[in-house]
Structure 1
Amino acid sequence: MPTIDALAERLKTYLDNHHINVVRRAFYYAEQAHEGQYRQSGEPYITHPLAVANLLADLQLDHQCLAAAMLHDVIEDTGIPKDALSSQFGESIAELVDGVSKLTQIEFKSKAEAQAENFQKMTLAMAKDIRVILVKLADRLHNMRTLGPLKPEKRRRIATETLDIYAPIANRLGIHTMCVELEDLGFQAMFPMRAKYIQEAVRKLRGTHYEIIEEIKHKLEGKLKERGLSVRIQGREKHLHSIYQKMKAKRRSFHDIMDVYAFRIITDSVDSCYRTLGVVHGMYKPVPGRFKDYIALPKANGYQSIHTTLFGSHVNIEIQIRTEEMDKVANSGIAAHWVYKSATSDLADNQQMRAQKWVKDLMELRERADDSLEFIEHVKIDLFPDEIYIFTPKGRIMELPGGATPVDFAYAIHTDIGNSTVACRINKHLASLSMPLKSGQTVEIITAPGAKPNPGWLNFVVTGKAKSNIRHYLKQQRQSESRELGRRLLKKNLQAFGKRLDDINEQHKEKVLKHNQASSFDRLLEEIGLGSRMAYIVARQLVSDGEPTESHDMEYREDDNKPSLMVEGADGQVLNLAHCCKPIPGDPIVGVINRGAGLMIHSETCDKIKKFLHDPEHCIHLTWAKNITDEFSVALRVEVERQRGVIAEIASAVTMADGNIEKINVEEQNARLSVVSLIIKVQGRIHLARVMRRLRHLLAVTSISRVKH
Structure 2
Amino acid sequence: MTHVLTTADDLIELVRLYNPNSSAGLIRDAYAFGEKMHEGQFRHSGEPYFMHPVAVAMILAEQQMDDATIITALLHDTIEDTKANYAQVEERFGTVIADLVDGVTKLTNLQLSSTETKQAENFRKLFMATSRDLRVTLVKLADRLHNMRTIKSMRPEKQLQKARETMEIYAPLAGRMGMQWMREELEDLAFKVINPEARASIIRRFLTLQKETGDVIEKITSDIRLELDTAGIEAEVYGRAKKPYSIWRKMQEKDQGFSRLSDIYGFRIITRSEQDCYRVLGVIHQRWKLVPGRFKDYVSNPKSNGYRSLHTTVSGRDGKRVEMQIRTREMHEVAETGVAAHWSYRDGERVENRFAVDPVKWIASLTERFDEDHDHDEFLEAVKLEMYTDQVFVFSPKGDVIKLPRGATPIDFAYAIHTRIGHACVGAKVDGMRVPLWTRLKNGQSVEIITAEGQTPQSTWIDIAVTGRAKTAIRRSLREEDKERFVKLGRELARVAFENVGKKVTEKALTTAAKALAIDDAEDMLARIGSAELSARHAVRAIYPDLQPTRAATVDKARAVVGLNPDQAHVRAPCCQPVPGERIVGITYRGKGVAVHAIDCAALIDFEEQPGRWIDVHWQEGTHGAVNTVTLDLTITNDAGVLGRICTLIGEQKANISNLTFADRKPDFYRVLVDVELRDAEHMHRVMTALEAESDVASISRHRDPNRAAEAFRD
Shorter-chain TM band: 0.5 to 0.7
Letter in 2 for 1:292: K
Task: Give matches, 1:178-193, under 5 Å.
Answer: 178-193=182-197
Alignment-derived partner of residue 218 in structure 2: 214
How many equivalent residue pairs? 518
Shift of 1:108: 6.3
Instruction: Encode CA deviations 1:341-360: one digit per residue, 9 max, x unaligned.
Output: 93333311366533543565
1:460 aligns with 2:464: yes
In structure 2, do the counterparts of structure 1 residues 318 and 73 end up closer, same or farther at CA, with 3 Å as the change threshold? same
Per the alignment, in what secondary structure is the counterpart of residue 320 of structure 1? strand
Over 3 Å counting, the alpha-carbon distance change for 1:401 and 1:265 in structure 2 is: same
- The one-letter amino acid paired with 2:266 is A
Return the alpha-carbon distance in structure 1 between the equivalents of residues 306 and 341 of structure 2: 11
Aligned to 1:324: 329
Q: What is the identity, as a one-letter code, of the residue corresponding to 1:318?
A: E
What per-residue deviation string (whole Å, max 9, x for no partner) do you get for residues 503-557 of structure 1? xxxxxxxxx977985999x96777999999xxxxxxxxxxxxxxxxxxxxxxxxx
Partner of 2:339: 334
Give distance in 1, aligned partners of 2:250 and 2:51: 36
Deviation, 1:161, is 1.2
How far, CA to CA, are the matches of 2:117 and 2:509 in structure 1? 32
What displacement does 1:457 show?
A: 1.7
Query: Within 5 A, what are the aligned runs for 1:7-46?
Result: 7-17=11-21, 19-46=23-50
Q: For 1:309-458, what aligned pairs fall within 5 Å after superposition?
A: 309-314=313-318, 315-339=320-344, 342-349=350-357, 353-358=361-366, 368-369=374-375, 371=377, 378-427=382-431, 432-445=436-449, 450-458=454-462
| Residues 352, 108 of structure 1: alpha-carbon distance in 2 compared, 3 angstrom cutoff | closer
| Cα offsets for 1:106-153 (capped at 9, x unmatched) | 356899789867755653553343221111110111111111222111
Q: Give how far 1:180 is off.
A: 0.9
Taking the aligned partners of 2:409 and 2:611, their CA distance within structure 1 comes to 29
Distance 1:516 1:101 in 2: 35
Distance 2:340 2:410 in 1: 34
Cα deviation, 1:541-584, whole Å, max 9, x if unaligned, reads xxxxxxxxxxxxxxxxxxxxxxxxxxxxxxxxxxxx986599xx
Residues 240-279 of structure 1: pairs in structure 2 closer than 5 A:
240-257=244-261, 260-279=264-283
Name the counterpart of 1:131. 135
- Whether contact under 8 Å (2:408, 2:440) holds in the other structure is yes
Letter in 1 for 2:321: N
Distance 1:240 1:106 in 2: 30
**Offset at residue 412 of structure 1 (A):** 2.2
- 2: distance between equivalents of 1:415 and 1:131? 34
Secondary structure in structure 1 of the residue aligned to 2:45:
coil
- Which consecutive unaligned segments of at least 5 residues does structure 1 have? 487-511, 533-576, 583-632, 639-659, 666-709
Structure number with greater Rg is: 1
* Residue type of the alignment partner of 2:177: L
Q: Which residue of 1 aligns with 2:559?
A: none
1:84-111, CA deviations, whole angstroms, 9 ceiling, x for partnerless residues?
A: 1111111111011011112222356899
Name the residue aligned to 1:662. 612
Rounded Cα–Cα distance in structure 1 between residues aligned with 2:88 and 2:251: 52
Structure 1 residues 268, 320: CA separation in 2 closer, same or farther (over 3 Å shift)? same
The match for 1:203 is 207
CA contact 2:410–2:437 (8 Å) conserved in 1:
yes
Q: Structure 1 residues 251 and 185, CA, compared in 2 at 3 Å: closer, same or farther?
A: same
Q: State the one-letter code of the partner of 2:268.
A: R
Q: Whole-Å Cα distance in 1 between the matches of residues 524 and 191 of structure 2?
A: 50
Q: CA deviation at 1:302?
A: 3.2
Give, as a single letter, the amino acid of the residue that structure 2 aligns with 1:662: G
Which residue of 1 is the match for residue 63 of structure 2?
A: 59
- Report the Cα offset of residue 662 of structure 1: 2.2
1:293 maps onto 2:301 in alignment: no
| Contact preservation (8 Å) 1:108, 1:114 | no
Question: CA 1:350/1:63 → structure 2, altered by over 3 Å: closer, same or farther?
Answer: closer
After the TM superposition, which residues 580-599 of structure 1 pair with which residues of structure 2 at under 5 Å, given as runs? none
Q: Distance in 1 between matches of 2:67 and 2:308?
A: 28
Contact conserved, 1:126 with 1:359, CA < 8 A, in 2?
no
Query: How big is the shift at 1:282?
Result: 0.6
Q: Aligned partners of 1:72 and 1:531: how far apart in 2?
A: 42
Unmatched runs of 5 consecutive residues or more in structure 2: 491-505, 531-561, 568-585, 592-609, 616-715
Q: Separation in 2 of the partners of 1:420 and 1:397?
A: 21
Compared CA separation, residues 420 and 67, structure 1 to 2 (3 A): farther
Letter in 1 for 2:250: K
Deviations 1:671-700 (A, max 9, x none): xxxxxxxxxxxxxxxxxxxxxxxxxxxxxx
- Compute the displacement of 1:50 (Å): 0.8
In structure 2, the residue matched to 1:651 is none
After superposition, the Cα gap between the structure-2 partners of 1:357 and 1:58, relative to the gap in structure 1 and judged at 3 Å, is farther
Aligned to 1:173: 177
- 2:612 counterpart SS class: strand
Q: Which residue of 2 aligns with 1:586?
A: none
Aligned residues of 1:390 and 1:439 also touching (Cα < 8 A)? yes
Kept in 1, the 8 Å contact 2:199–2:244? The answer is yes
Deviations 1:176-195 (A, max 9, x none): 11111111111112223332
Write the letter of the residue equivalent to 2:315.
F
Deviation sequence 1:338-389 (CA, Å, 0-9, x none): 116933333113665335435656x67x974464xx6655555444434321
Deviations 1:29-51 (A, max 9, x none): 11111122222222222211111
Q: Helix, strand or coil: the match of 2:238?
A: strand
Contact 1:390 1:438 in 2 (8 A): yes
Map 1:105-184 → 2, pairs under 5 A: 105-106=109-110, 123-184=127-188
- Asked if the contact 1:302–1:351 (Cα under 8 Å) also holds between the matched residues in 2, the reply is no
Using the aligned pairs only, state the percent identity: 41
* One-letter amino acid matched to 2:313: T
Determine if the alignment matches structure 1 residue 71 to structure 2 residue 75. yes
- TM-aligned CA distance change 1:219 to 1:446, over 3 Å: same
Q: What is the one-letter code of the residue matched to 2:351? A: A
Partners of 2:189 and 2:611 in 1: how far apart?
60
> CA, structure 1 residues 467+222, in 2 after alignment: closer, same or farther (shift >3 Å)?
same
Matches within 5 A, 1:668-707: none
CA contact (8 A) 2:405 2:467 kept: yes
Whole-angstrom CA distance in 1 between matches of 2:195 and 2:78:
34
Q: In 2, distance between residues paired with 1:527 and 1:344? A: 49
Deviation, 1:330, is: 1.3
Q: Check the 8 A contact 1:300/1:387 in 2, yes or no.
A: no
Q: CA deviation at 1:72?
A: 0.5
2:268 alignment partner, SS class: strand
Q: How does 1:543-582 map to 2 (within 5 A)?
A: none
Q: Deviation digits for residues 270-302 of structure 1, max 9, x if unmatched?
A: 211111000010101111122121222223443
| TM-fit CA distance, 1:409 | 1.1
Structure-1-length-normalised TM-score = 0.65
Q: Distance between the aligned counterparts of 1:284 and 1:207, measured in 2?
A: 25
C-alpha separation in 2, matches of 1:268 and 1:338: 22
Q: Which has the higher contact order (CA 8 A, sep 6+)?
A: 2
The answer to whether the 8 A contact 1:405-1:437 is kept is yes
What's the C-alpha RMSD, in Å, of the aligned pairs? 3.9
CA contact (8 A) 1:299 1:387 kept: no
> What is the alpha-carbon distance in structure 2 between the residues aligned to residue 90 and residue 234 of structure 1?
43
Alpha-carbon deviation of 1:405? 2.0
Whether contact under 8 Å (2:262, 2:321) holds in the other structure is no
In 2, distance between residues paired with 1:194 and 1:252? 14
